[in-house]
Amino acid sequence: MVTGDRGRIAKNTFLLFFRMFFISLISLYTSRLTLNILGISDYGIYSLVGGVVLLLSFLNSSMTATIQRFYNIEIAKNNDLNFLKLFHTSRSVQLFLAIFVFIILQLLGNWLIYSKLKIPESRIEAAYWSYQLAIISFVLSMSNVPYRALIIANEKMGIFAVISILEVSLKLAAIVCLSIVPGDKLITYSSLILLTTVLVNASFKRYCIKKYSFSKGRYRIESEYFSALINFSFWSLLSNISVVLRNQGISILLNFFYGVIVNAAHAITLQVSGILNSFISNFTQAANPQIVKLYAQGDLEEMKDLVLFSSRISFLLILLIGLPFYIYIELFLNLWLSDVPPYVEIFTKLVIVQIFVEAFSSVQSTAQAATGKIKLYHLVLSGIGLLNIPVAYFFLSNKSEPQVVFMVSIFLSGIISVARLFFLKNSIHLSIKEYLTKVIVRCIVIAIICVGACNLIKSNFQSSVVASGIGYIISTICTLVVCFLLGLNRLERSSVYDRIKKAVK
């Protein structure tokens, strides 16, 4: 693959990593501050009514990926007229989808708030308006998806990172203002979050209009792109829905057999999983446009080379972040949670193992999506993933420990990873043997070396919290060195050296 392309991927990955690091810090502080200012009751109400809307949040990520995929194909073909038609159509599709979601949420919300949800009578009116404002925020975000996809497709990760940081900063400012603004705090907070959404959307749109003059065009539907977008997004949404159903199904099973305490452990584990998966998505988001463009240009050899490279780097990145965290999980949980619920440690460890198994999945999915052959792909993979629920039910009903649901997930994730390789073999003629030798085996060897080294370090640094903290830092450095020396080839290491020298000067 062209070195410049890898350099651009490395630069964009760094920008997205910085974005995520900053967002994570601000978000953790904001959530704590929000709880203190709103109070437990109003915070719970906001989480409850906002959670109903957030159940559909996967729509935005799925549609962004879908639209970005089509943008990248037209960019690679260098056909400005077709790109213009596609952009107008994507805006129209998102507008229709936003209107549809708005209607559904309106019908669902009134029934839930006034009939089903247990909300104190004195706060029902505030909950209703908070819900309405949350719907408007979500619908506005949906209508803004084509602009986000346009920025990502053109690999403008710098502006994407800046606006994302602006968003969390505005949310922090909103909660700070809440302490001095009079009126109902729940309604005021929801209003400020809506204002934040408006400003963020305006920032994305203004940048796109300034950078890409065609993006201020009107809504229009081109039949060939409309049908392609709807068909592709349907199968992509099916995959996302199956993930939501699987997670919710596991939560219900754990509640049914073990109660709310185990549910609390599961919820904490999902937070950790979300953070770790974000690190992988930051890299793959930087690599995805290149994978799609190479396929659209018909350069399958370069594309396969990038798939191998990106798969390897994805695993090394999650190994660098996840392994030291796994080894010192007890330290982090005790620092993070004043009272660690039962099963949190074992749940989190198993989820990290699952993330290691799935480290290659995002790159593989992007490669398959680039081909457009996704119907059977999503049907098979979604079907395998949903087996998690009946299989877990079988084990739990036979008196198994709750962690068995995660063991089943790990096993099924392994099967799904193998299935992805066979799909890629058929769609882009990817050599499974080459993938195993250049990616899987190499990554396993590196992981074994790092696990041994980190455990050896831990055995000498566990006498106190400070000692464990030092051990964690040394383990991270050790993992970084091993990944650098064994995970990168000579050319890649030289490129890193050159970039470090350039940055120092």
Of 188, 221, 254, the position where a domain reaches its end is 221
Task: Specify whether 263 is located in the same domain as 188.
Answer: no
**pLDDT for the residue 49:** 73
pLDDT at 453 over 60: yes
Task: Specify whether 278 is located in the same domain as 329.
Answer: yes
**pLDDT for the residue 481:** 94
**pLDDT for the residue 54:** 66
Residue-wise pLDDT tens digits, 137-187: 989 998 889 998 898 888 888 888 888 888 888 988 888 888 787 788 888
Of 403, 431, 459, the position where a domain reaches its end is 431
Number of domains within the chain? 2
Domain holding 148, by residue range, is 1-221
**pLDDT for the residue 6:** 63
Measured CA to CA, the distance from residue 274 to residue 267 in angstroms comes to 11
Residue-wise pLDDT tens digits, 189-237: 889 989 999 999 999 999 988 888 777 767 778 888 888 888 888 888 8
Confidence of residue 408 (pLDDT cuts 50, 70, 90): very high
Q: How many CB atoms lie within 10 A of CB 311?
A: 24
Task: Specify whether 240 is located in the same domain as 208.
Answer: no
The 3-state DSSP class for residue 182 equals coil
**pLDDT for the residue 156:** 85
Angle, CA of 289, 292 and 293, to the nearest 5°: 80
Supply the pTM of this predicted model. Answer: 0.81
Task: Specify whether 198 is located in the same domain as 296.
Answer: no
Mean pLDDT of 67-81: 85
pLDDT at 434 over 70: yes
Confidence of residue 38 (pLDDT cuts 50, 70, 90): confident
**pLDDT for the residue 5:** 60
Of 221, 236, 260, the position where a domain reaches its end is 221
100-105 contacts at long range (C-beta below 8 A, 24 or more positions apart) = 101/56, 101/59, 101/138, 101/139, 101/142, 102/135, 102/139, 105/52, 105/53, 105/56, 105/135, 105/138
Residue-wise pLDDT tens digits, 75-131: 888 878 888 888 889 988 888 888 988 998 888 877 877 777 777 888 888 888 888
Task: Specify whether 5 is located in the same domain as 113.
Answer: yes
